[in-house]
A and B are shown apart, each in its own frame.
Chain A
Amino acid sequence: MTTTAVRDRGAVGVGGLPSAWGLGLRRGALEIRQFFRQRDQVVFTFAFPVVFLFLFASIFRDDVAGAGITASQLYVPAMMAAGIMSTSFQALGISIAVEREEKVLRRLRGTPMPPTAYFLGKIWLVLFTGLLETVILLLVGTTVYDVNLPSDAGRWFDLAWIFVLGITACALLGIAISSVPTSANSASSVVVLPFLVLQFISGVYIAIGTVPDWMLTIGALFPLKWMCQGLRGVFLPESAQVLEQAGSWETGRVALVLAAWCAGGLVLCLLTFRWKDRREG
């Protein structure tokens, strides 16, 4: 049968072992299924950025002087960037630490599954959940807070690559930070604190004009600031560029920094990833 032959060839790699890419897809499907079976996790993951968008954009809604936008409009791209980071960095940082403590990772290590397939599965999961999160925020932003959908194909294209590069960089950082906590109990504190700090100094909660320069400089070392900046470029009118430190959205630089974080994050993961928890040595 032709169909079977084709499927088998796709699934089998070198030496009769299933290919890492194929297994990555299977793991991705499994991860997504597992994710959606934990109902409270689903609700809170998706609700968190929406609730914060509602709070900030409803509390601060005055016109921003000279920029031709309202404060509410500023919060839509900001929360979108934070949403991308929470579904990737925060979700993976905590869940992988839990999987490590519950010895799910060690069990996988004892099978012929290649490590790449595990990481690919996680990337598929966050691409899926991150896309959903972004769509939800986009709906709320356009219907409630007067943000327009990207006006041309160029801006849609910018949205797509900022999303893909940003979520990949944050996912890799999340995988890397999952090796830091010594137990699953401490994982949420270890992961949430840096994420919260970054949200304050990257222009998510507080407009960048209000944050001291030295804090912005630290924020600029990490992907979140660039994701926020790039997304403002996608959703806000040209007049809002006056609010930026550089007086423009620096789209090229955003791409450069995010791509560098993807590469650096991958190296970091490969160097630091642990399959066992520390107590096991």
Chain B
Amino acid sequence: MTAHGYDLAVRVRGLRKRYGDVTAVDGIDLGIRPGEVFGLLGPNGAGKSTTVEILQGNRDRDSGEVSVLGSDPATGTRAWRSRVGIVWQDESAPAELTVRETVRHFAGYYPRPRNPEEVIGLVGLEAKADSRIKALSGGQRRRLDVALGVIGGPDLLLLDEPTTGFDPAARRQFWSLIRALADGGTTILLTTHYLEEAEALAHRLAVVAKGRIVAEGEPGALRERYGTEALVEWTEPDGTPRRERTGTPTRTIAGLMRRFDGEIPGLAVSRPTLEDVYLRLTGQRQEDAR
């Protein structure tokens, strides 16, 4: 136990949630350490958003233990809410107010808010501080969302697919913002379906598919563990194309050389990219999943 009264900022054991016949979350375990940036990576419909909404205290769960900053989100008090910052997937703020009015107003909800001007600067909206929200671009609105997520000076920030719909330049800008927050000591849970994003930001990540965690670890370690297998492809003498995924491609080719006289028809050897690994783990590339 630490001074806060908890070891992990987020602790989830055996989390399950069904919507009618559909199982959205099917037994997820998570442990996020204070100060960590944790990425929850997976395709749409994998159960990421449901998981995050349960952590926000915004959705009931069917079973499982959940502790966020030492409390169960289902019974989160105002004091607890003041320590958890949320950046929603699809966001909306009152369109008729200006950026400054909105950020200042939200600051008033918290016991120890950050300085509104400072937060507007942090998200790079100084030039737009007096613009109505309805006049902002999509990327600027997302930055306002982040400003509202961090205005209370949260210990934990929950970001649900924060960069969906961004152009590449805006995404990079957003990443530096998240890194700045992480450097300031904020614990961050980020969901994304962009592998690149999880790799760029997360200290650790979990790959989610069909409501389960299929791989977990540091991005580099994941690549080593799942990314070393090569794909060897060739054509049999009867014309049947064959492919084999193997950790020892040289041995496979040596075997083929013994079977074939001379050239091996259609021979190709390829190393999967991390993206291939991800797509395979999440079952989005079924034909390779052997």
A interface residues with partner B (beta carbon < 8 Å): 11-12, 15-18, 23, 26, 30, 33-34, 37-38, 102-104, 106-107, 109-114, 276, 281
Contact = CB atoms under 8 A, between A and B. Distances in A.
Interface centre among A18, A33, A37, A112 (most CB of B within 10 A): A112
Given A15-B79, A26-B105, A281-B19, A107 B88 contact: yes
Nearest to A108: B109
B56 A112 contact: no
Interface in B88-107: 88, 90-94, 96-97, 101, 105-106
Interface residues of B, number: 29
Given A17-B78, A17-B82, A106-B58, A113 B109 contact: yes
For the complex of A and B, the 3 pairs showing the least CB-CB separation, nearest first, are A16-B111, A112-B82, A37-B96
B79 to A, nearest CB: 6
Q: Is the interface of B mostly helix, strand, loop or mixed?
A: loop
A113 B105 CA distance: 11
A109 B108 CA distance: 15
A18 B93 contact: no
Contacts of A106: 58, 88
B289 to A, nearest CB: 32
A30 B90 CA distance: 23
B97 A18 contact: no
Interface centre among A16, A23, A107, A110 (most CB of B within 10 A): A110
B94 A34 contact: yes
B93 A104 contact: yes
A102 B82 contact: no
Contacts of B225: none
B19 A111 contact: no
Nearest to A22: B108
Contact of A103 (B59, B82, B92, B110): B92
A110 B58 CA distance: 8
Interface centre among B82, B97, B106 (most CB of A within 10 A): B82
7 contacts: A12-B111, A16-B111, A34-B97, A103-B88, A106-B58, A110-B86, A111-B106
A15 to B, nearest CB: 6
A110 B92 contact: no
A112 B88 contact: no
Interface string B28-71: 00000000000000000000000000001011000000000000
Contacts of B132: 37
B172 interface: no
Given A110-B86, A111-B152, A112-B82, A18 B92 contact: no
B112 interface: yes
A17 B79 CA distance: 7
B148 interface: yes
Contacts of B90: 103
B88 A110 contact: yes
Contacts of A33: 96-97, 101
B249 to A, nearest CB: 48
A15 B78 CA distance: 10
B109 A111 contact: yes
B81 interface: yes
Given A103-B91, A110-B81, A114-B78, A18 B19 contact: no
Given A34-B94, A107-B148, A110-B81, A17 B111 contact: yes
A112 B97 contact: no
A112 B79 contact: yes
A103 B141 CA distance: 14
Interface centre among B93, B101, B111 (most CB of A within 10 A): B111
Nearest to B53: A280
A30 B105 contact: yes
A100 B91 CA distance: 12
Contacts of B58: 106, 109-110, 276
B96 A112 contact: no
B151 to A, nearest CB: 9
Given A26-B105, A38-B96, A107 B91 contact: yes
A174 B29 CA distance: 43
Contact of A104 (B79, B92, B101, B110): B92
